[in-house]
Amino acid sequence: MRVIINELDYEFNEKLTILDAAKKVGIEIPTFCYHEKLEPRAACRLCVVEVVGRENLLTACSTYIQEGMVINTNSQKVIQARKTNLALLISDHQSDCLLCNKMIDCKLLAYANELNLSITPYYNVPDEKTSYSFTKIDDSSPAFIKNPSRCIKCGLCVQVCDQLQDIDCIDYRNKGGNFEVGPAFNKTIIQTNCTHCGQCVINCPTCALEEKSDIDNVLKAINDKKKIVIAQVAPSIRVSLGEEFGMPFGTIVTGKIPTALKMLGFDYIFDTELGADLTIIEEANELLERLSNKSNNPLPMFTSCCPSWVKMVEDSYHFLIPNLSTCKSPHQMLGSIVKTYFSEVIGIDSKNIVLVSIMPCLSKKFDIARPEVKGQVDYSLTTRELGRMIRGAGINFPILLDSLFDNPLGRSSGAGTLFGSSGGVMEASLRTAYESATGKPLEKIEFKELRQFTQSKYGEINLNEKLLRFASINTLSKAKELIEMILSKKIELDFVEIMACPHGCIGGGGQPIPSSEEIILARAKAIYQNDSKNPIRKCHENPQIKKLYSEYLKKPGSEIAHNLLHTKYYKRTY
């Protein structure tokens, strides 16, 4: 259809909103409440445009183009309306930008600068009768902080929690001057079924939601000469950290990361991908035991490397706890090895070792606080936090020379890399499970059905004449849909991977801002490139893994392996 945008003619062959049509021709329309995977709410009114023949301005996010439509996205009427709407939003926002962790990524500040709005004519003066006070900060979550005084009530966090994750732990509450966003009945976050996935945080356009930072604690440990401070780096960090420094989306910066971390003062830099390799060895062994009826635990077996998914099961699907793999998450596995095996190797009391995980998500902050694993990993930093640390130290990250992770826990397989993308845990597991079960090499180690850029992926493979049916799911809303399908016997599966964040860890709540389908896809392609270039592409062929078992763990599923690398899960009540 023919559409005129800002006096230029365009042809579109598909049904698009004005927002999407404008983006296709290089015009960015500002918006707060819009999310590309969710239904538009048109609540913030910042994306208004002028359409010839219509008296009132229309919201670009919810209005579809029509044949012959004449649109102006930048008229004086449009700009003035945006200024007014933005000023009203700012009036409800605490002006403490110097204290904001999202200042660089803050859409509110960016739009104010773009619209030349330095002073707002509207002021909201809080009093004791309103909820707009500076005392209701909710820091109960181990992962993030909720500060209502910075909230502009765009509702995007509510939509993400409801539609993307189907958790519904936050909603709109109260009316009039007391209207705000938060858990029902004035509960704190920790009193709800929040999974701490951080999708609300990464989508919040202001700093009303921000990660609970451990930067100061890590710097204090680094400056304590009595401590050995170790960093471990998750797979997806190497394809996303560069974005914090203006590098193209999906740039692989694997070698620059150890260099930067050594410059920050870390003593050793290990690779969580080795923890992923270790997870696969134990997980594949556990799966084969379940398939051969040597285990009392039922099928399908669900992966357990995503803490947000595990918490959802503990909160709402207690009957599935026996179906969860007993394996710890990869960074917790490596934490156990660092505090035991490596502690013995270097002759240092584990009490003097501080282990810091660099993770793409916020739920790992919750993960390390679980009582049954507390102390194995001391701090968890997001990709964004590491970016702030590097900038704060004056390090010019893009020009750094490459270096290697440290031995004996720094070499990993391509399969370990795949953990960063949805479907990767399953693909890595199948590579090892197949060869362990059959004793034969897997002819095609890349599973195309698991590399589709979708939220639900299915497949099957023959293991010794037995058909193994598997699935990979991302986002918790899709996980709930799958559970209902399994319960209603609409589908039969043996092995299921579930990741809480869109397309896995590459779309994690602790990743650089912005985060979109286009950006996440670029990261996914880089993950697969990392795998293809690694000379070791199967976890069980990693020489450091072989050495770890021969010297310390004995064999998969051994007593010591079970004690160090496996855990239990519990029904949660509130």
Residues in the chain: 574
CA–CA distance, 158 with 169 (Å, rounded to integer): 8
Which domains are assigned to the chain? 2-91 (3.10.20.740), 99-211 (3.30.70.20), 216-565 (3.40.50.1780)
CA–CA distance, 491 with 487 (Å, rounded to integer): 9
Q: pLDDT per position in the chain (574 positions), as tens?
A: 899 999 999 999 989 999 999 999 999 999 999 998 888 988 899 999 999 999 999 999 999 999 999 999 999 999 999 999 888 888 777 666 666 777 677 888 888 888 877 656 665 555 544 444 444 899 999 999 999 888 888 999 999 999 999 999 999 888 777 788 999 888 999 999 999 999 999 999 988 999 999 999 999 999 999 999 999 999 999 999 999 999 999 999 999 999 999 999 999 999 999 999 999 999 999 999 999 887 788 999 999 999 999 999 999 999 999 999 999 999 999 999 999 999 999 999 999 999 999 999 999 999 999 999 989 999 999 999 999 999 999 999 999 999 999 999 999 999 999 999 999 999 999 999 999 999 999 989 999 999 999 999 999 999 988 899 999 999 999 999 999 999 999 999 999 999 999 999 999 999 999 989 999 999 999 999 999 999 999 999 999 999 999 999 999 999 999 999 999 999 987 6
With vertex at residue 34, the alpha carbon angle to CA 26 and CA 78, rounded to the nearest 5 degrees, is 60
**Would you state the pLDDT for residue 465?**
85
User: Residue 14 corresponds to which tokens in the numbers above?
Assistant: 């598909």
**Would you state the pLDDT for residue 178?**
76
Q: What are the CA-CA distances from residue 572 to residues 317, 566, 567 (Å)?
A: 10, 19, 16
b/e per residue, 152-186, with b = 16+ CB within 10 A? bbbbbbbbbbbebbebebbeebeeeeeebbbbeee
**Would you state the pLDDT for residue 121?**
62
Q: Compute CA 280 distance to the chain's CA centroid, rounded to the nearest angstrom.
A: 21
**Would you state the pLDDT for residue 297?**
86
Q: What are the CA-CA distances from residue 297 to residues 106, 290, 318 (Å)?
A: 47, 7, 14
Phi first, then psi: give them for residue 462, nearest 5 degrees. -90, 120
